[in-house]
Amino acid sequence: MTVQTVFTLEFYNNKNRMTTEIIETFSELGLSENILKALTEMGFEKPSPIQAQGIPAVMQGSDVIGQAQTGTGKTAAFGIPVLERIDTSSNAVQALVLCPTRELAVQVSEEIGRLAKFTRGIKIEAIYGGDSIERQIRSLKKGVHIVVGTPGRVMDHMERKTLKFDEVRMMVLDEADEMLDMGFREDIESILADMPADRQTILFSATMSKPIMSITKRFLNDPILIKVVRNELTNVNIEQVCYEVKPQAKVEVMTRLIDMYHLKSLLVFCNTKRKVDEIVEELQLRGYASEGIHGDLRQQQRSNVMSKFKAGVTTILVATDVAARGIDVSGLDGVINYDIPLDEEYYVHRIGRTGRAGMSGKAFSLVARDEKFRLKSIENYTKVKIEKGVIPSYEDIVGVRKARFVESISATIQSGDIDLYQDVLEMLHHSGFSTEQIVGAMAKQIMGVQKNEYADSNLAWEERRSDRFERRGGDDRRSGGRFDRGNERRGNDRFSGGSERRSDSRSEGARFGEPKRNAAPEAGMTRLFLSLGRKDHILPKDIVGAIAGEANIPGKTIGAIDIYDKFTFVDVPERDARAVLRAMDGNTIKGKPVQIDIAK
């Protein structure tokens, strides 16, 4: 993915001024020969923008805030200065790097290790939950210079007094926004408060939210703010295509795309942990080598999954956005957005996994009808028009597999060493089968194409009159429209049973099967859809309690709640909507799993 970027350098005072001259090589940054040698071996030719501006700022000893996305090379931007400042004559911890996930902690420690390959005597340790704390304690006692860890496990070691910060010179917060979203704010503040006052603090975040700025004002001294501003996302190496698909047909369409484009190494993204498990099960039943990764897996399970994927034993990795943070994979053939992400920036993170290092990649998005508005928001955000694709037909897939079968057989014949098997054809002839029957049966068995329950015409969602009305921007009553009498009756069926307000009162309209409230939510509020309703015996107090408790927002700020037979609408403050969606993802209300999304 090629990203056109500009740097906006903002300063909290006039003391920390930096040059904005263009830096073309790492040697211009004044790095040691050992680091330059490691960079050359790793294939780095010239510094990325965040490295060109970030390395000098960190090297001069200033506190630094780097606003940059995943994949911009920020690990080297702080990792190189950290290595340059380590004193190997002391075995004390001199640098601490905090990461939101276990995978990212491992990835960061490994990359710093590669940068330190030719620098003798530097010891690096990754500490995170799920790994043996006893092993970590033994390693820390032997002496470690750089610790890369997750907030929870770092706090564990602090409480056990097995991790001491007396000689820490540098503190790095990587993916700070993600750590706050995951609820680590108190841990982060406790760790920062325990650090030496004269330390240098470096913070990297994709966004500069109020909580992030609060931390910087409290714990950083006159920091330099380096922003990588995306003017336009031009993904010249990535083919981006979307497919309008019925929700129940997404797995079928996905497997057709895998077969059509012969995707051997693929990352599939979902919005929920439960969906990850469901997709993996369906893919495995269809014969695809797939594994899932999400927050509920133990560390040993996650390590096994990643090992198999990197070794090529597993060809399809299904993941949630949070679990995919820190996954170090290269050479992906493509990425499939099974669910359209709730946050536009997640889309950028997802497709950035393919098309790296000048290689080509494919990014396919499976768009259900109620996700089309999210896709439009992504197009507006990235300033890229995502082309609409045509779903491959069953005949297309059979044709592609036939061609590959012929290529495979031809290659096997040309390779020789088939004399031992040539009598198989004669044996089958003696059983009464013709050559054509034998070849056909072998092709069917090897290609593995099975007729399924989906007709080609039953995969994409049909265009509604309301869709045409929306595009034309005019009245569609001539053709019946959304509000003709027939559709009005069908619409009432959808709400049969009526709605229930937060006061538990019911109106006359509700008794006759009409929805009580169709008005837009109040200003400053966002309406959410919940997949539970009156049939699930939930009450307004249950919804308020679940949202307030999980999302950590005051219950009194939650607005109107309309409970119908099979679903519920609830209004929450706009500023809290994303937090509620994240907190309730894969959660339950009164023991029943709930799906939640922004109401359309």
Reported as a single tens digit per residue, the pLDDT across 542-585 is 888 888 877 878 887 888 898 888 889 999 988 888 888 888 87
CB-count exposure of residue 15 (10 Å: 0-12, 13-18, 19+): exposed
Contacts of 96 (CB under 8 A, 6+ apart): 146, 147, 148, 149, 154, 165, 168, 170, 171, 172, 191, 195
Least confident range of 19-33, 187-201, 475-489, 521-535? 475-489
- Pull the structure tokens for residue 22: 């263009």
Q: How far apart are CA 422 and CA 444, in angstroms?
A: 20
Whether the per-residue pLDDT at 513 is higher than 50: the answer is no
Whether 202 and 92 share a structural domain? yes
DSSP letter at 556? Answer: G
Whether 30 and 143 share a structural domain? yes
Of 216, 231, 246, the domain-final residue: 231
pLDDT score of 422: 75
Whether 60 and 199 share a structural domain? yes
Strands 224-234 and 2-11: antiparallel
Whether the per-residue pLDDT at 234 is higher than 60: the answer is no
> Mean pLDDT over residues 515-528, rounded?
71
pLDDT score of 78: 94
pLDDT score of 453: 55
Q: How many other CB atoms are found less than 10 A from the CB of residue 481?
A: 14
β-strand partners of 320? 270
Whether 116 and 203 share a structural domain? yes
Asked whether the CA dihedral 461, 467, 472, 475 is positive or negative, the reply is: positive
Of 202, 231, 260, the domain-final residue: 231
pLDDT score of 85: 92
In a domain, 434, yes or no: yes
> Mean pLDDT over residues 315-339, rounded?
82
Whether 334 and 221 share a structural domain? no
Structure confidence at residue 449 as a pLDDT band (50, 70, 90): low
Q: How far apart are CA 185 and CA 213, in angstroms?
A: 12
The answer to whether the CB of 540 falls within 8 A of the CB of 500 is yes
> Mean pLDDT over residues 156-181, rounded?
91
Structure confidence at residue 358 as a pLDDT band (50, 70, 90): low
357 vs 5, more confident = 357
The answer to whether the CB of 192 falls within 8 A of the CB of 157 is no
Whether 526 and 400 share a structural domain? no
pLDDT score of 236: 61
**Selection from 492, 502, 498 nearest residue 538 by Cα:** 502
pLDDT digit string (tens) for 469-510?
A: 444 444 443 333 333 333 333 333 333 334 444 443 333 333
- Pull the structure tokens for residue 59: 């090297």
β-strand partners of 269? 319, 337
Structure confidence at residue 450 as a pLDDT band (50, 70, 90): low
Whether 181 and 40 share a structural domain? yes
DSSP letter at 390? Answer: P
Least confident range of 160-169, 321-330, 497-506, 518-527? 497-506
Rg over CA atoms, the chain: 28
Whether the per-residue pLDDT at 337 is higher than 80: the answer is yes
β-strand partners of 170? 95, 200
**In the chain, how many domains are there?**
4
pLDDT score of 101: 84
pLDDT score of 144: 95
71 vs 136, more confident = 136
Whether 215 and 135 share a structural domain? yes
pLDDT score of 18: 42
pLDDT score of 168: 94
Least confident range of 47-51, 118-122, 444-448? 444-448
In a domain, 487, yes or no: no
- Biggest alpha carbon distance in the chain? 92
In a domain, 399, yes or no: yes
In a domain, 433, yes or no: yes
**Position 286: which residue type?**
R
Contacts of 272 (CB under 8 A, 6+ apart): 320, 339, 585, 586, 595
pLDDT score of 473: 44
In a domain, 457, yes or no: no
Structure confidence at residue 6 as a pLDDT band (50, 70, 90): very low
Q: How far apart are CA 197 and CA 219, in angstroms?
A: 9
Q: Is the pTM of this model over 0.75?
A: no
Q: How far apart are CA 271 and CA 263, in angstroms?
A: 22
Q: How many other CB atoms are found less than 10 A from the CB of residue 586?
A: 19
- The CATH number linked to 141 is 3.40.50.300
Of 228-237, 330-339, 466-475, give the range with the top mean pLDDT: 330-339
In a domain, 299, yes or no: yes
Of 353, 377, 392, the domain-final residue: 392
Q: How far apart are CA 33 and CA 89, in angstroms?
A: 19
Tokens 């307004």 map to which residue?
540
In a domain, 428, yes or no: yes
In a domain, 452, yes or no: no
> Mean pLDDT over residues 525-531, rounded?
90
Structure confidence at residue 280 as a pLDDT band (50, 70, 90): very high
Supply the mean pLDDT for the chain. 79
- Pull the structure tokens for residue 139: 């390693």
Q: How many other CB atoms are found less than 10 A from the CB of residue 288?
A: 19
Whether 333 and 431 share a structural domain? no
pLDDT score of 447: 67
> Mean pLDDT over residues 70-91, rounded?
88
Sheet-wide strand order for 238-244 = 290-293, 316-320, 266-270, 334-337, 361-367, 238-244, 387-388
151 vs 486, more confident = 151
Q: Which helix (H) or strand (E) holds 76?
A: helix 74-84
**Position 376: which residue type?**
K
Structure confidence at residue 10 as a pLDDT band (50, 70, 90): very low
Whether the per-residue pLDDT at 392 is higher than 50: the answer is yes
Alpha helices in 85-172 (DSSP H): 102-115, 133-142, 151-160
pLDDT score of 173: 95
Whether 386 and 408 share a structural domain? no
- Pull the structure tokens for residue 158: 């602090």
Strands 525-530 and 568-573: antiparallel
- The CATH number linked to 561 is 3.30.70.330
Whether 566 and 510 share a structural domain? yes
Domain that holds residue 260: 235-392
Structure confidence at residue 458 as a pLDDT band (50, 70, 90): low
> Mean pLDDT over residues 372-392, rounded?
87
- What is the chain's percent helix, strand, coil content, to nearest 5? 45, 15, 40
Q: Is 191 helix (H, G, I), strand (E, B) or coil?
A: helix
> Mean pLDDT over residues 298-320, rounded?
86
Whether the per-residue pLDDT at 140 is higher than 90: the answer is yes
Long-range contacts of 206-212 (CB under 8 A, 24+ apart): 206/67, 206/68, 206/69, 206/70, 206/175, 206/177, 206/178, 206/345, 207/67, 207/177, 207/345, 208/65, 208/67, 209/177, 209/180, 211/180, 211/185, 212/176, 212/177, 212/180
For 524, left (φ over 0), alpha (ψ -120 to 50), or beta?
Answer: left
CB-count exposure of residue 599 (10 Å: 0-12, 13-18, 19+): middle
Backbone angles phi, psi at 240, to 5 degrees: -105, 120
Structure confidence at residue 107 as a pLDDT band (50, 70, 90): confident
Whether 144 and 201 share a structural domain? yes
